[in-house]
Amino acid sequence: MEHQINVMISEEDVNKRICEMGAQISKDYAGKELHLICVLRGGSFFMCELAKRITVPVSLDFMSVSSYGSDTKSSGVVKIVKDLDDSIQGKDVLVVEDIIDSGRTLSYLMEMFKDRGPASLHLCTLLDKPDRRVIEVNVDYTGFEIPDKFVVGYGLDYDQKYRNLPYIGEVII
Ligand code: IMP
Ligand code: MG
């Protein structure tokens, strides 16, 4: 089934904002090496684009969790589907996420990462839906705050579809 998708944030605006975030992160981590952790699958498009705009040396790792089925509502359950390949002990870690909604996924992951002894641990998200927050999460870099709408594109899916849209679109359900 095809859905109606309205552009919420254009490709041009997303790209511009990612450039700004990359510049800010490069400045904040000047003289350091940065270890990026991508939360699959949604965070992958954003992480690639962001990483290309970071000027300090970067390494990457991937984590896969599931908190949603094919529905648009959070199950409240965070399951580790794939853990990190490398240790983060002593590293300057930046977690890269597509969207923070209830905050359940990231509050769980950030606590888990903290216990693994990184030198520093920060969080970067392309999108934030603050109105939906159930658990407080400390976000260090936010691309855009958006209203409580279900969005797709730039890595975000609806039932595994629309991740490849080059803009952020609102699904009219
Ligand atoms: P949280 O644990 O409720 O903060 O959920 C975060 C995860 O839910 C995100 O990483 C997304 O995978 C998914 N999610 C939340 N809102 C949306 C949305 O509007 N579109 C697509 N996925 C979403
Ligand atoms: Mg995600």
| List of domains in the chain | 11-149 (3.40.50.2020)
Task: Report pLDDT for 67.
Answer: 67
Note if 101 is an active site residue.
Answer: yes
| pLDDT for residue 70 is more than 70 | no
Angle at 33 between CA 31 and CA 39, to 5 degrees: 140
Distance 156 CA to ligand 1 centre (A): 8
Are the C-beta atoms of residues 159 and 70 closer than 8 Å to each other? yes
Per-position b or e across 39-52, b if 16+ CB within 10 A of its CB: bbbbbbbbbebbbe
- Within 10 angstroms of residue 131's Cβ, the number of other Cβ atoms is 10
> Does residue 42's CB lie within 6 angstroms of at least one atom of ligand 1?
yes
The percent of residues in the chain predicted with pLDDT above 70, rounded, is 94
> Does residue 67's CB lie within 6 angstroms of at least one atom of ligand 1?
yes
Distance CA 95, CA 162 (A): 23
Are the C-beta atoms of residues 132 and 102 closer than 8 Å to each other? yes
Average pLDDT of every residue of the chain: 94
Q: Which ligand is nearest to the CA of 163?
A: 1
pLDDT (tens digit per residue) in 103-141: 999 999 999 999 999 999 999 999 999 999 999 999 999
Residue type at 20 in one-letter notation? E
| pLDDT for residue 34 is more than 60 | yes
> Does residue 169's CB lie within 6 angstroms of at least one atom of ligand 1?
no
Please state the pTM of the whole predicted model.
Answer: 0.94
Task: Report pLDDT for 79.
Answer: 86
Residue nearest ligand 1's atom 12 by CA: 42
Task: Report pLDDT for 73.
Answer: 55
Distance CA 35, CA 85 (A): 12
Distance 57 CA to ligand 2 centre (A): 24
Distance CA 25, CA 34 (A): 9
Residue nearest ligand 1's atom 20 by CA: 151
Task: Mean pLDDT check: name the lowest of 7-11, 71-75, 114-118.
Answer: 71-75
